[in-house]
Amino acid sequence: MRFWQEKQSLMWKHQYETVIITPWGKNALRVRAAKYPKFTENDWALEQPVEETAAGVSVEINGNESASITNGRLRIQVDFAGIMTFYRDGEKILKEYHRDYDQPSCKESRCLKMRGREYKAIIGGDYALKIRFESNDGEKIYGMGQYQQSYLDLKGCTLELAQRNSQVSVPFAVSSMGYGFLWNHPGVGNVIFGKNYTEWEAKAAKQIDYWVTVDDNPAKIVENYTEVTGRAPMIPDGLLGLWQCKLRYRTQEEVLSVARKYQELGIHIDVIVIDFFHWTRQGDWKFDKEYWPDPKAMCDELHAMGTKVVVSVWPSVDKKSENFEELSNRGLLIQTERGSNQTYDFQGDCLEIDVTNPEARAYLWEKCKQNYYDYGIDMFWLDNAEPDYGVYDFDNYRYMLGNALEVSNVYPKLYAKTFYDGIKSEGREKEILHLIRCGWAGIQKYGALLWSGDVPSTFESLRDQLSAGLNMGLAGIPWWTTDIGGFMTDDVEDEGFRELLLRWFEFAVFSPILRMHGDRGPHDIPPLSDKEWGGGSLYTGHSNELWSYGEEAFGIMKKQWELRLSLKPYIEGLMKEASETGAPLLRTMFYEFPEDKHCWELEDQYMFGDQYLVAPVLQMGQREREVYLPVGKWKNITDGQTYEGGQTVSCKAPIECIPVFEKLEK
């Protein structure tokens, strides 16, 4: 073992492996290890400039026996076998899992031949990599993006590190032991937060790369993390009220008629969204003129109402698209490694544009600017952003940056960057927001509003979205929303669905964005055209406006919308805080009350910012539920009754509202 110091970094080499540990942000260290002669120049999620300073940084080397590096409150100790142990203020928080017999004096010495860092050569390629850490009994783990499950605490879970519709891999974990861990790989893999050990795996990579920070509480850990990965900008004005959307408005007149009716009812919609297949073919990226004859006039009328316009963009390109030949000839599409040259097969034989290629990003923006933005479209809905594959055989797809196994998870981030850079080049940097179905570490800095994807219209799914939104916020992404009522509705007339819709709406009032959307079945509405392509060829769902579900439901949602409007100044303050510190709007109870042990056990209530405690109703027919109030004074916003905290109270939950408490004492 040979240790040495290079600038502020600690390095060592043993046999074919080289390791470097570098100070990287506040109370944080970045660890890289490789069997190649040099490390790559890819910083991946760690793109923000980091000040190089000697303050709080020290490197100590004890010959060939041991070494350590300290940055602020985080220290890594390395022994003679290269095993790393991590300390927060002198207390051990992590240690590499080592079960080999090369340390006869160590109690972990075993004949299992398992090491903390594992390299498995890929024939003709790089390495499949694993790192392992000792498990900590009693530890809780959060973050990691969005997974469709009810578990908020991820300890004991196995998570696929891959992007799918409604699954968003953002590999940053927050531990109850006071550290945050970023797996800085954009490739496909897995993480197992096991009871016996933790294991991170990359299916294909050139080097191990991860980043660790420590601090007092989850809020400060997220702040440290977003300092090095980026923070959301301040959200543009006029977006915190109601967003109206459905699958799908088929014509320009349908959009305008909905907006006009809202205006007649005295309900202002901040945004109206034009969904998919308004186009001719996938990859044309333009309106079908038969059904959208004058997009500029449409935008002008909507803007006069004070309503902004969003249009859906997909990355898929039909082989019959007018742009396919040029994109193919210029090498701007994702390739297959074997078999049929196809990546997506919904309503066409498609490949998807390769946004890891800067030329492809420029091409896509130019088409969308010419055919949408120049007409007055304000924002873009970047759907299918994973990208959505016909089959998730990641090893069969290749990007400019490499095989999908190695780089695929970064795709949605670069998809968002495409439109961020484009709108910024137009001088409208303060007006950037993209609704997007997927993301990766650092996407928040590109103005990305993630939504939870095409989820079922069930109470079980609503429960899953609560955990998804809370963990997404802990992964550094504060702009998050859902399809109110879920996306996939079998029968729009079902009374059970209407109850779900109302409960979902009441939850959404206390979320970053209030957005109506969904595919309201059954699909019994005839298409506008019998052609096999174009904007009139595809099905549409039933109506999804506030008035679509009867007078009682309309009255409840209108009152809840008015509550939302009263909260707008407060939400604007939360958005400002998110842009300054990375703080999420949806916050776990322990985020606000880290010293309260009971708050670490709560998974079905949350804080909306630091002032409102929200207890959503997550079961059909439920009209009462228990709510835990931390120490302090709390007021039920429905009946005005005040309570002393430090207790669990039983609250009424009529169909008109869910329990929400305002914190009266700071």
Binning pLDDT at 50, 70 and 90, where does residue 665 land? confident
**605: domain range?**
588-663
A 10 A CB-CB count for 346 gives 12
In a domain, 365, yes or no: yes
| 349 counts as catalytic | no
Cα 404 from Cα 186, distance rounded (Å): 9
Binning pLDDT at 50, 70 and 90, where does residue 111 land? confident
In a domain, 308, yes or no: yes
Cα 414 from Cα 540, distance rounded (Å): 30
Binning pLDDT at 50, 70 and 90, where does residue 450 land? very high
Place of tokens 């985020």: 591
- Collect all residues with Cβ–Cβ distance below 8 Å to 152 and sequence separation of at least 6: 142, 467, 470, 471, 588, 603
Q: Please give the structure tokens belonging to residue 487.
A: 């996306």
Instruction: Indicate whether 188 and 116 sit together in one domain.
Output: yes
Instruction: Indicate whether 18 and 156 sit together in one domain.
Output: yes
Look at the chain and count its residues: 666
Q: In the predicted model, what is the mean pLDDT of residues 220-225?
A: 98
**Amino acid code (one letter) for 643:** Y
Instruction: Indicate whether 192 and 213 sit together in one domain.
Output: yes
| 79 counts as catalytic | no
Q: Please give the structure tokens belonging to residue 309.
A: 């316009």
**Amino acid code (one letter) for 530:** D
Q: Does the pLDDT value for residue 113 go beyond 90?
A: no
In a domain, 371, yes or no: yes
For the entire predicted model, the pTM comes to: 0.97
In a domain, 331, yes or no: no
Q: What is the pLDDT of residues 242-280, one digit of tens each?
A: 999 999 999 999 999 999 999 999 999 999 999 999 999
Q: Does the pLDDT value for residue 109 go beyond 70?
A: no
How many angstroms from the chain centroid is the CA of residue 335? 26
Task: Report H helices in 426-550.
Answer: 459-474, 495-509
In a domain, 344, yes or no: no
Instruction: Indicate whether 185 and 280 sit together in one domain.
Output: no
Q: What is the pLDDT of residues 603-659, one digit of tens each?
A: 999 999 999 999 999 999 999 999 999 999 999 999 999 999 999 999 999 999 999
* pLDDT of the residue at 123: 81
In a domain, 341, yes or no: no
Instruction: Indicate whether 597 and 651 sit together in one domain.
Output: yes
Structural contact between residues 582 and 227, judged by C-beta atoms closer than 8 angstroms = yes
In a domain, 434, yes or no: yes
Q: In the predicted model, what is the mean pLDDT of residues 100-119?
A: 72
Query: HEC string of 300-346?
Result: HHHHHCCCEEEEEECCEEECCCCCHHHHHHCCCECEECCCCCCCECC
Structural contact between residues 334 and 387, judged by C-beta atoms closer than 8 angstroms = yes
In 3D, which of 521, 488, 494, 518 has the Cα closest to residue 505?
Answer: 518
Query: Strands 308-313 and 379-382, how do they pair?
Result: parallel
Q: What is the pLDDT of residues 511-530, one digit of tens each?
A: 999 999 999 999 999 999 99
- Collect all residues with Cβ–Cβ distance below 8 Å to 205 and sequence separation of at least 6: 126, 127, 128, 129, 185, 187, 406
Which DSSP helix (H) or strand (E) runs through 208? strand 208-214
Across 57-156, the runs of DSSP E, i.e. the strands, are 57-62, 66-71, 74-78, 84-88, 91-95, 117-121, 127-134, 141-146
Q: In the predicted model, what is the mean pLDDT of residues 455-484?
A: 98
Q: What is the pLDDT of residues 370-388, one digit of tens each?
A: 999 999 999 999 999 999 9
Q: Please give the structure tokens belonging to residue 269.
A: 């919609």
Q: What is the pLDDT of residues 308-350, one digit of tens each?
A: 999 999 999 999 999 999 999 999 999 999 999 999 999 999 9
* pLDDT of the residue at 114: 87
| 610 counts as catalytic | no
Q: What is the pLDDT of residues 30-65, one digit of tens each?
A: 999 999 999 999 999 999 998 876 678 999 999 999
Q: Please give the structure tokens belonging to residue 491.
A: 């029968």
Q: Does the pLDDT value for residue 169 go beyond 80?
A: yes
Query: Strands 17-23 and 316-318, how do they pair?
Result: unpaired
Q: Is the peptide bond before 522 cis (omega within 30 degrees of 0)?
A: yes
**Residue 227: HSE in the Cβ half-sphere, 13 Å Cα cutoff:** 17
Instruction: Indicate whether 445 and 537 sit together in one domain.
Output: yes
Domain ends where: 181, 200, 229? Answer: 229
Structural contact between residues 188 and 162, judged by C-beta atoms closer than 8 angstroms = yes
Q: Please give the structure tokens belonging to residue 514.
A: 């209030």
We report the CATH number of the domain holding residue 561 as 3.20.20.80
Cα 626 from Cα 215, distance rounded (Å): 32
Across 375-469, the runs of DSSP E, i.e. the strands, are 379-382, 397-399, 402-403, 434-436, 448-451
φ, ψ dihedrals at 46, nearest 5°: -90, 60
We report the CATH number of the domain holding residue 23 as 2.60.40.1760
Q: Does the pLDDT value for residue 103 go beyond 70?
A: no
Instruction: Indicate whether 530 and 436 sit together in one domain.
Output: yes
In a domain, 639, yes or no: yes
* pLDDT of the residue at 54: 67
Task: Report H helices in 484-618.
Answer: 495-509, 551-581, 589-592
* pLDDT of the residue at 425: 97
Residues facing 515 on adjacent strands: 243
Among 119-133, 134-148, 220-234, 552-566, the least confident range: 119-133
Q: What is the pLDDT of residues 540-574, one digit of tens each?
A: 999 999 999 999 999 999 999 999 999 999 999 99
Instruction: Indicate whether 525 and 612 sit together in one domain.
Output: no
Structural contact between residues 200 and 560, judged by C-beta atoms closer than 8 angstroms = no
Residue tagged active-site, from 199, 284, 383, 545: 383
Q: In the predicted model, what is the mean pLDDT of residues 443-470?
A: 98
Would you give the DSSP letter of residue 175? E
* pLDDT of the residue at 105: 52
Cα dist from 179 to 45, 91, 214, 328, 653, whole Å: 18, 11, 4, 46, 37
Task: Report H helices in 582-621.
Answer: 589-592
* pLDDT of the residue at 130: 98
A 10 A CB-CB count for 492 gives 21
* pLDDT of the residue at 63: 94
Residue tagged active-site, from 386, 483, 545, 592: 386
Cα 508 from Cα 505, distance rounded (Å): 5
* pLDDT of the residue at 71: 97
Q: Does the pLDDT value for residue 107 go beyond 60?
A: no
Q: What is the pLDDT of residues 227-250, one digit of tens each?
A: 999 999 999 999 999 999 999 999
Query: Strands 308-313 and 269-274, how do they pair?
Result: parallel
Structural contact between residues 294 and 322, judged by C-beta atoms closer than 8 angstroms = no
Instruction: Indicate whether 130 and 35 sit together in one domain.
Output: yes
Mean per-residue pLDDT over the chain, rounded: 96
Q: Please give the structure tokens belonging to residue 347.
A: 């309503």
Would you give the DSSP letter of residue 388? P
A 10 A CB-CB count for 94 gives 21
Residue tagged active-site, from 454, 506, 592, 604: 454
Q: How many domains does the chain have?
A: 3
Instruction: Indicate whether 603 and 552 sit together in one domain.
Output: no
Instruction: Indicate whether 285 and 168 sit together in one domain.
Output: no
**Residue 184: HSE in the Cβ half-sphere, 13 Å Cα cutoff:** 26
In 3D, which of 93, 6, 3 has the Cα closest to residue 57?
Answer: 6
Domain ends where: 527, 552, 577? Answer: 577
Specify the 3-state DSSP secondary structure of 444.
Answer: helix
Domain ends where: 195, 229, 263? Answer: 229
Binning pLDDT at 50, 70 and 90, where does residue 666 land? low
In 3D, which of 503, 504, 553, 497 has the Cα closest to residue 520?
Answer: 497
The dihedral formed by the CA atoms of 143, 146, 149 and 154, expressed in degrees to the nearest 10: -20
Which DSSP helix (H) or strand (E) runs through 61? strand 57-62
* pLDDT of the residue at 116: 92
The dihedral formed by the CA atoms of 150, 153, 158 and 160, expressed in degrees to the nearest 10: 70
Q: What percent of the chain has pLDDT over 90?
A: 95
We report the CATH number of the domain holding residue 650 as 2.60.40.1180
Instruction: Indicate whether 305 and 432 sit together in one domain.
Output: yes
Specify the 3-state DSSP secondary structure of 614.
Answer: strand
Binning pLDDT at 50, 70 and 90, where does residue 396 land? very high
Cα 557 from Cα 418, distance rounded (Å): 36
In 3D, which of 63, 57, 56 has the Cα closest to residue 78?
Answer: 63
Q: Does the pLDDT value for residue 468 go beyond 80?
A: yes
